[in-house]
Chains A and B, each alone.
Chain A
Amino acid sequence: MRFHHAALILALILGWNAMAHSQDAPRPPSDVIAVDQPNDVGNTVDVSWSLSPDDRADVSPRLVTRYDVYRRAVGEEEFVKVGDQPPGASTLADSNAVRDTEYLYQVVAVGPDEAESAPAAAAATVVPRMEYFRRDRAWFAVIVFCICSTVVAFIVIARSGRELYIRKIPGLEAVDEAVGRATEMGRDCLFVPGIMDINDIQTVAGINVLSRVSQLTAEFGARLEVPTARSLVMTAARETVEASYYAAGRPDAYNEDDIYYISDEQFGYVAGAMGAMVRERPAACFYMGVFYAESLLLAETGNSIGAIQVAGTAMPAQLPFFVAACDYTLIGEEFFAASAYLSGEASQLGSLRGQDVGKLLVAFLLLVGCSAATIAGLTDSDSAETALTFIKDHVLGDKGFLP
């Protein structure tokens, strides 16, 4: 009788333990798939799975606290943890894989108290491979190649001596007028090259315009002040202005202290530049480069001191402010055309014609896309739908060169 009682108690204890374990450990995830990430150097595997049935947001506390992802190379014994994801997540990119190594992945759901579900293994192994070219950017590469080839071709044509017609850009015509006016009034010119560093192409474009402006101030004998927000821009601006003064035969008039650093901090820089404007009262202000909220602060201060103002930027959100507050504004592409336009060099003017051909290419693509979308919308034409899908997914999307 005693033996029966002891056996019953033991069975109850074992049963309780088993029940408690089954309550803590969540049910495993399913449908684990591991695939090589395309268009990479061969070090990433994308792992995905279907959530554990116990992974429910409406149950509190949650029965699944995270998913652990493991992998092992074929030939090795033990699985190694490569990462984890919070509940509700069903993908993980393992970016520490070794190229050309065959791996097997498994995912485990982890519950409270670190109780792990049975592992769910991927049905197949995966071998990460390196792609030699990013196929998702194939069309972009083609378009870049076409535009760059056209620009280079027109530079060559222009160098051969052929005349190219370039339309007048009033904002750039005004540069000479502004510097001339400052000289007549016996006041300074102020050039603001934006707030970004020299690795931004807009800053480089701004410095290119500065080259022309400083050449004019050297010739006319006006003082040019250039406050900068970056040390490297200050150095580049000094080199540019010094060379312009040398080229104009006025090295004595060059003063490197007129090109100075204020602060990397956006509003600190603006406060410094605005202070210089109010104190020095320049007659001509140029804003050429990258601008954010400070665009209107600078332009309105310039307006309040009665300066003639020319601005140029490729920041679409700031263009309305410059248009409202400045006398002339170089909008987007005009700003990038400025250097070529002001230099008047044939090789540089050729690049502008190359840009125009690029615009034609874009206009052609727009026309084809809009036509395909319109026809596909109005009729049940399969070919129009196919063309539209191809443009959206392949030319503008990331699905490669051809279907």
Chain B
Amino acid sequence: MKRTVPLIIAGTVGFVLIVSYFIPYTESWGEDAMTWFNILAAIAFVLGAGNLVKMHLKKISDQQAGWGYSAITLAAFFFTLIVGMLKIGVTPSEKYPTNAWAGPYDQAGSAFRWVYDYLFLPLSATMFAMLAFYIASAAFRAFRAKNVEAIALLTTAFIVLLGRTYAGVWLTDWIPEESIGLEADALRLDNVTGTIMNTFNLAGMRAITIGIALGVASTSLKVLLGVDRSYLGSTDD
């Protein structure tokens, strides 16, 4: 029963979504199904918040490795929650001037907006900026010329990287547009880069995309038919 009911729900909703894609009359059914999912996800968010608090309180009480980070996490969580829910610093809206809580929680000048603009955004940007260093270290390993394939990869990457910079244009702009009746400018680094990306790379990416589409169809069908029940915990009913 624990697995049969979810299977029936998953199968029914899945087939409704498929049918709603092809039959106009049922389009709203698909939208209703997605609304139900959003309601479930919103309720589950409370579950996630409860788990977050429980986990970090436990880490602090057990003084596990890095418990200080847990303390900071909890302080940040409760601070943001309180300033957001109490709408601290929010001015009443023009429509309801007598109601102090009528303004939006993320209004410019509010405490929540301050947390978002001056703590959250810089921290996210910092994490994103770290990618530059990680790309460099990953590229260093990936482009080591160990064998023929790696050398081909290295050469291609070198051309593409160079062709996408001004140096690539500058180095090869002396090549004439036409020479001995041929379009010689195809040999310019920026044009070679375009050919690599739009012909060879695109063909490979399309092959991968076609495989993904077939995999999605197959996996969805297995889930809807109940052939694959791993996500429910077991293959046995």
Q: Could you list which residues of chain A lie within 8 angstroms of chain B, going by C-beta atoms?
A: 39-42, 130-134, 137, 141, 144, 147-148, 151-152, 155, 197, 199, 201, 204-205, 207-208, 211-212, 230-232, 234-236, 239-240, 242-244, 246-247, 257, 260-268, 270-271, 275, 279, 293, 296-297, 299-300, 303, 314, 316, 319, 321, 323-325, 331-333, 335-337, 339-340, 343, 345, 347-348, 351-352, 354-355, 358-359, 362
Contact = CB atoms under 8 A, between A and B. Distances in A.
B40 to A, nearest CB: 7
Given A133-B24, A201-B223, A293-B131, 17 more contacts: A41-B28, A130-B24, A147-B218, A208-B228, A232-B40, A240-B230, A247-B236, A265-B124, A267-B124, A296-B131, A316-B212, A331-B208, A332-B209, A332-B211, A348-B222, A351-B218, A351-B222
Contacts of B222: 151, 339-340, 348, 351
A243 B230 CA distance: 9
Contacts of A325: 134, 138, 141
Contact of B217 (A132, A314, A358): A358
Most buried by B among A41, A260, A296, A300: A300
B218 A300 contact: no
A261 B139 CA distance: 32
B214 A362 contact: yes
A355 B235 CA distance: 21
A212 B27 CA distance: 37
B13 to A, nearest CB: 10
27 contacts: A41-B28, A130-B24, A130-B25, A132-B25, A133-B22, A141-B22, A147-B214, A151-B222, A231-B51, A239-B232, A243-B233, A244-B234, A247-B234, A247-B236, A262-B52, A265-B124, A266-B124, A293-B128, A297-B127, A314-B216, A324-B142, A325-B134, A336-B215, A343-B230, A351-B221, A351-B227, A355-B214
A34 B31 CA distance: 28
Interface stretch (B42-50, B161-169, B178-186): B42-50
B23 interface: yes
Nearest to B55: A260
B234 A243 contact: yes
A383 B25 CA distance: 38
Q: Is the interface of A mostly helix, strand, loop or mixed?
A: helix
Contacts of A257: 55, 58
Given A41-B25, A316-B209, A279 B65 contact: yes
Size class of B's contact patch? 35 or more
A248 B7 CA distance: 23
Contacts of B235: 343, 345
Contacts of A207: 230-231
Contact of A134 (B22, B44, B47, B66): B22
Contact of B127 (A205, A271, A358): A271
Nearest first, the 10 A-B pairs at minimum CB distance are A243-B233, A336-B215, A231-B48, A333-B211, A231-B44, A267-B127, A211-B230, A324-B142, A333-B215, A208-B230
B100 interface: no
Contacts of A270: 127
Contacts of B232: 239-240, 243
B70 to A, nearest CB: 10
A264 B40 CA distance: 15
A347 B127 contact: no
A199 B37 contact: yes
A314 B215 contact: yes
Given A133-B23, A141-B22, A201 B66 contact: no
B41 interface: yes
Nearest to B143: A324
B1 interface: no
B69 interface: yes
